[in-house]
Amino acid sequence: MDITCWNCKKVTTLDKAAIEAAIAAMDAAKLGFHDVPCASCGKANRTTRETFEAGLAAANAAPEMSQREVNQAHKEEKAAKDKAKEEKQAAKEFVKKANKKG
């Protein structure tokens, strides 16, 4: 979940644990908001409970990938790009040969 500072416009990213902690703090204080301090300028960014609940729902919906899964996905993307590049090069060579004959 990203919170943009109202003062300096720096984006602060909150992970699932930070979102849960903010909701717990709001529950303890019986408030409908939580002040997220900006990492850059230190100003408080008042954020509503609804925003935190939406961020928590999004964090729960997004599956977390292990490092192995991330590496495998990168390898698959690279392989697909390499294959596309090879096919493009083969097509260029085919056109070049066709132009020489014609």
Q: Are 79 and 73 in contact (CB under 8 A)?
A: no
Host H or E run for residue 16: helix 16-29
Tokens read off for 19 = 């979102």
Give the 3-state DSSP-derived string for 28-56, with helices as H, strands as E and coil as C: HHCCCEEEEECCCCCCEEEEEHHHHHHHH
pTM of the model: 0.58
Query: Which range is least confidently modeled, 7-16, 60-69, 75-84, 92-101?
Result: 60-69
For residues 1 and 52, the answer to whether their CB atoms sit within 8 Å is yes
Distance CA 84, CA 88 (A): 6
Two tokens, residue 70: 């991330």
pLDDT digits (tens, 9 = 90+) for 10-59: 999 999 999 999 999 999 999 999 999 998 999 999 999 999 999 999 88
> Would you kindly state where each structural domain of the chain is located, as residue ranges?
2-61, 66-102
